[in-house]
Amino acid sequence: AAHLREGKGQGHFRAVRHQAAGLAQQRDGAGQQETIELKWGKLRLRRLAFALAENAASQNVRVTADGAELACKHHVENGRIVIDLPVQGSLDDPNFRIGKVVLRVVVNLLTKAATSPFSLLGSMFGGGGDELAFQEFAPGASELLPAEVPKLDTMVKALTNRPGLSLGLEGAADTAADTYALQRLKLADRVRRQIWEARHAANPAIPPPAQLVISPEENAAMVKQLFDEKFPPGTKFGAPLAGPPPVTAAPAPPKPGLIKRVMRVITFRSAAGSPAATPKAAAATTPTTASPGVPLEEMTGRLADAQVVSADDLRALATARAEQVRAYFLATGHIAADRLFLAQGAEAAKQNKGPRVFLSLQ
């Protein structure tokens, strides 16, 4: 409905269905057009509100009066697009003396595809597409990657502006890539603790292991000691050391249909999109010879491969990742805790394993 004020000396307008003014609406797959035709008298408008098509969002709203574009502000409220008009038009205005006035509101719509709600949210609240449905992590790590944080910020805007939405979060692990990274983290922790214990025996007042400063020489000496204990002289290794395994690829976005291709034309998005960068594990240690014939890199790799990483370790890592994302929404985004759920058994995490957290709208 259009909210109208009384036109002085020209009668009363209570609704646009009055004989002096008519309202027409036209919708198609990519747009919505509302037309108000003023046949006689004055029409003073402060605010217009139109119902949007179901599962649609406004984009690129444009208001014209007989072809002249009018300045306006708009927002979506309870399924309607509300347009504030800081101007008024009348047949008495020289700019509109052409017999009748046609006020036209053109609303480009982004129709929600059932298979890609995150793409719709990205178009509405700051950019991004289907990749908003997951957060990438470095193998073996649960810390948020700086390059991934803007995706969370977009989701914060979406949740803030859509209080009816809740979010399920499920952490996942990459069996091969995360195991490889965790083995090396476990070895580094073991080396640090062994050095700390040796120092602590001589000086009980030293700081805890996490604060210990270890020189490259101390690290190499401890690695050699652990290597000699684990692999006595004469130990033969059947295969050379393997490098880090590739990270499982991110989920592929759904193939765009006709409506989605129209959406991309409207928003000037590439039809192909930009694939997300795959996080890489930390670079390997620069080879250093710790003893004749056995490089430090090989000793470190052999010891790391001997570290046991259990299914519980991978589950704990996946959970820690989900909790990190949840903590960001709580502390930085100020999203209520009752709208964030640590999901279990989400289809995305089952089908697309990787060092990620999968988001699901509820």
Could you report the per-residue pLDDT of 282-333, keeping only the tens digit for each? Answer: 444 444 444 557 899 999 999 999 999 999 999 999 999 999 999 999 999 9
Tokens at 193, concatenated: 């603790």
Q: How far apart are CA 69 and CA 95, in angstroms?
A: 12
Q: Cα torsion for 333, 337, 339, 345, to the nearest 10°? A: 110
Q: How far apart are CA 357 and CA 348, in angstroms?
A: 10
Burial label, 110 (beta-carbon count in 10 A; 0-12, 13-18, 19+): buried
- How far is C-alpha 23 from the chain's CA centre? 40
What are the helix (H) ranges across the chain? 117-124, 149-161, 175-202, 216-230, 258-267, 296-305, 311-331, 347-351
Cβ atoms within 10 Å of 343's Cβ, excluding its own: 19
pLDDT in tens, 17-58: 444 556 666 665 556 677 777 666 666 666 777 766 655 555
| Per-residue CA distances from 263 to 9, 50, 56, 73, 266 (Å) | 46, 21, 11, 22, 5
pLDDT at 347: 57
Cβ atoms within 10 Å of 16's Cβ, excluding its own: 22
Q: Which amino acid is at 266?
A: I
Q: Got the DSSP string for 141-164?
A: --SPPGGGHHHHHHHHHHHHH-TT
pTM: 0.61
Answer whether 237's CB lies under 8 Å from 118's CB: no
pLDDT at 294: 82
Q: Give the Cα-Cα-Cα angle 73, 77, 81 (nearest 5 degrees).
A: 50
Q: How far apart are CA 53 and CA 29, in angstroms?
A: 10
pLDDT in tens, 224-235: 999 999 998 888
3-class secondary structure, 107: strand
Q: How far apart are CA 85 and CA 105, in angstroms?
A: 11
pLDDT at 290: 47
How is residue 96 annotated by DSSP? G
CA terminus-to-terminus distance, the chain = 31
Residues 6+ apart with CB under 8 A from 232: none
Lowest-confidence region among 1-5, 199-203, 221-225, 264-268: 1-5
Q: State the pairing for strand pair 73-77/80-84.
A: antiparallel
Tokens at 222, concatenated: 């401890």
pLDDT band at 129 (very low <50, low <70, confident <90, very high): confident
Q: How far apart are CA 149 and CA 236, in angstroms?
A: 46
Residues 6+ apart with CB under 8 A from 13: 4, 5, 6, 7, 20, 21, 41, 43
